[in-house]
Amino acid sequence: MLQSIITGSGSYLPKKIVSNNSFEEVTFYDENREPITKPTQEIIQKFADITEIVERRYVDDDNMMNSDLSAEVGRLAIENAGIDKEELDYIIVAHNFGNIDAYERQVRIMPSISALTKHKLGIKNILCKPYDMTFGCPGWNEGMILADQLLKAKIAKKILVIGSETLSRSVDPYDRNCMIFSDGAAGVVLESRETDKEVGILNHFTRSDNGEEVLYLTTDTSLNPDYKGSKANIRMRGRKIYEYALTCVPQAIKKVIDSAGYTLTDINKVLIHQANAKMDHAILQRVFKLYGVKAIPEGFAPMTIQKFGNSSVATIPTMYDMIVKGNFPNQTLSSGDLVIFASVGAGMNINAILYKMP
């Protein structure tokens, strides 16, 4: 039986820590592009109460691009897997904005991030195909799903799947939501293995709602008419996203569990995209309610958003890498454990993966 198994992983957390206090001198603007008169400290406190974010990570080197982060975690994952980089059949890199410079904040997606990653890794194999996955925050998950399909179809044997983003350069500094986003990268090597055991990626599910939902998370000019920076900044309709996620994500998680022949009590851990702690808590509560289970076990769904913010496509693989390498306090993954990777984001897209630790 051919299975898709993670054989190596790597992650990169920028060293620059940006606390909530760093925003105290900012005058935020509302959706009508008018300055918010409420004291900024009060805005920050309300933000922290809802999201639980107290600090986030930003790239500290202005010359470092998203493709540099991607290449670094690719190198780490390849080393951890103990493979020859020239054996890779695909490099799949999930991101949202390509390379963004620290000055003009110009979005650059040519050459592709995956091609640049291959170049910076020094891979000479012309049959190693670079592929960019732009699928919102669920991009790394979707990259894993694509890789799983390629491996099980025997089109590939070894695939590098990365999620990498420098969101600090794509936000509107006058929008309160800028405090949510952060930078980071992580990735894994996924390999096909013949085994009689049921391990690796067991099941996955994706849904894409592209009606009015497509505009829930998009880009726009700054809320501050006088801002001279980027004209393509993240803009999101928070309430709409919250309602959509609470309605659809629990159903997606349940579907991926049920259709694989398991139930919630079989699951050891859920690694869920960290966008908003209040939303994540509510999603998990609804999942447990769907199964008629009242108590969420301690440590069942580890959280990083409080210290790392929302690093989009990098969030789930970062958590995975930290846990398997013993860098996440009070969190472990053992052979035979069933893990859910679940995410929601721009598109709007939702996906979930059921993975069994080898």
Is the Cα dihedral 291, 295, 300, 305 positive or negative?
A: positive
Instruction: Write down the domain spans for the chain.
Output: 2-194, 200-356
- Name the residue among 75, 93, 72 with its Cα closest to residue 85: 75
26 has a pLDDT exceeding 90:
yes
SS3 338: strand
Overall CATH class of domain 2-194: alpha beta
The pLDDT of residue 294: 85
Tokens found for residue 267: 């699951």
pTM listed for this prediction: 0.94
Domain 2-194 and domain 200-356 have a common topology:
yes
Tokens found for residue 250: 């629990």
- Per-residue model confidence as pLDDT tens digits over 186-228: 999 999 999 999 999 999 999 999 999 999 999 999 999 999 8
CATH architecture of the domain with residue range 200-356: 3-Layer(aba) Sandwich (3.40)
Decide if 347 contacts 243 (C-beta within 8 A).
Answer: no
- Per-residue model confidence as pLDDT tens digits over 162-178: 999 999 999 999 999 99
User: Helices 40-51 and 277-290, interaxial angle, to 10°?
Assistant: 30
The pLDDT of residue 231: 84
